[in-house]
Structure 1
Amino acid sequence: MTEPAQLELVIVRHGLTAWNQERRYQGHRDIPLRMPEAGPGLARLRDHLAAETFDAIHCSDLIRCRQTLAHVLEGKDREGLATPEARLDARLRELDFGDYEGRYYDELKDLPAYRAWIDSRGEQAPPGGESAGALRARLDAWLAAMFACAEAEGHRRVLTVTHGGVIRELRRRFETIDFWEGSVGQAQGRRFIFIHGEEGWRCSCSSAVPAPASATS
């Protein structure tokens, strides 16, 4: 009997932007990284992944993710490690917050439509935006394609650069925690280990990326 295949998915959030600092809803707005403020987080992530090789790289098509990936890949260049071409994918975008993008919580908190959206835990789409169900549907499609590609091409480790809401949803799904408990900081993420068996792919464990300082000392 052969051992089941294993796939390691390293999935990280983009680095710091001005709208992150200002606590604005960002969503599909194409906001670049804020430099030099984003630098320390990006450097820590780059150094953590510098010695790792990846069989495939997936990235949200928004500029803050593409810039983050470029910083991570600098570490590969220094180590002389070959990297596959990144597959840009709009399915990895943040939730579309519609009319709330660019706005602050304090200016929205008393609006009935905003309260209804919050109270529904995102299941009701914000005005002009996207529901949590729509986010789940596009992530389902991306995961299915990613797993199929891994099986067809023999991938064993995959790097993905995306957004906070995407990682929250994946943590809710694979770590069975509440969506609101699954937040990660900028230039941070998770390492999921998937095992392929008779019932398909299942997540066997996950851990923080980069690893907490206490775990590496």
Structure 2
Amino acid sequence: MAAAGRLELVVVRHGLTQWNRERRYQGQRDIPLLLPDAVAGLSRLRETLEAFEFDTAHCSDLTRCRQTLAHVMEGREAASPTRFDARLRELDFGDYEGCTYDELEPLPAYRAWIDSAGEQAPPGGESTAELRKRLEAWFAELLAGCTPHGQHCALVVTHGGVIRELRRRFEGIGFWEGGVSQAEGRKFTFIHEREHWQCSSSSAVPVPASAAS
């Protein structure tokens, strides 16, 4: 009997930006990395990713993700063909982009958006249902390129909201509970069983210092 197929999907968030530091909603604004401040986190992530042999890399087309990918895969680009994809962009926060929690907290519409876990779209923005739809299309294409008995390893460089949605789907946790810091992410392992790809595990990338010691 042929071995079951396996897919390791390493999904990481872009590095630090000025708006991250100021705790502003970035959404789909094309904000670059905050350099050189972002380098320490990116270098730590690059060291972790050296343990993986990626077949492909998938990246949001926004600048902060492109810069992150270039840093963590420096010298390995030819071995991992990259696909830049707008479907991997952050949730569109509409009128809230550029604002902080403290600025928005008094607004009833903002509190309603928070309470709905993003299912209610922010003014001029995108609901988590809309985010889910574009990610489902992207993920279906990814799986279509994986052979049922093959061994696959893919890197995804994306945004916090995308990782929240993937964790909600594959870890069964609430959308707001699935946050990760900049230059960190998750490794999802999928096994092909009964004609379907099933998520068998999820773990932090890089491994937290407390767990590694």
* Counterpart mapping for 1:25-104 below 5 A: 25-74=25-74, 77=75, 82-104=78-100
- What are structure 1's unaligned runs of at least 5 residues? none
- What are structure 2's unaligned runs of at least 5 residues? none
Percent identity between matched residues is 67
Alignment pair present for 1:193 and 2:189:
yes
Bigger Cα displacement from structure 2, 199-208 vs 156-165: 199-208
**C-alpha distance after superposition, 1:149-183 (max 9, x if no partner):** 1239x561000000001101111111111222211
Q: How far, CA to CA, are the matches of 2:31 and 2:146 in structure 1?
A: 31
1:168 corresponds to: 164
Q: How far, CA to CA, are the matches of 1:129 and 1:44 in structure 2?
A: 33
**C-alpha distance after superposition, 1:110-168 (max 9, x if no partner):** 1122122122221111111000100000110011011111239x561000000001101
Structure 1 segments of 4+ aligned residues over 6 angstroms from their partners = none
Q: How far, CA to CA, are the matches of 1:211 and 1:13 in structure 2?
A: 14
The size of the alignment, in residue pairs, is 213
Kindly state the Cα deviation for residue 212 of structure 1 after the two structures are TM-superposed.
1.7
Amino acid at match of 1:40: A
2:139 corresponds to: 143
Q: How far, CA to CA, are the matches of 2:5 and 2:177 in structure 1?
A: 30
Alignment pair present for 1:210 and 2:206:
yes
2:8 corresponds to: 8
Q: Is 1:94–1:163's contact at 8 Å kept on the other side of the alignment?
A: yes
**C-alpha distance after superposition, 1:45-102 (max 9, x if no partner):** 011112421101100000000000000012xx2xx78522210001101100001100
Amino acid at match of 2:123: P
Q: How far, CA to CA, are the matches of 2:202 and 2:190 in structure 1?
A: 9
Q: Give the TM-score taking structure 2 as reference length.
A: 0.94
Amino acid at match of 2:10: V
Q: Give the TM-score taking structure 1 as reference length.
A: 0.93
Amino acid at match of 2:94: G
Q: How far, CA to CA, are the matches of 1:155 and 1:2 in structure 2?
A: 12
Amino acid at match of 2:67: Q
Q: How far, CA to CA, are the matches of 1:13 and 1:131 in structure 2?
A: 20
RMSD between aligned residues? 1.7
Q: How far, CA to CA, are the matches of 2:18 and 2:129 in structure 1?
A: 28
Q: Is 1:53–1:81's contact at 8 Å kept on the other side of the alignment?
A: no
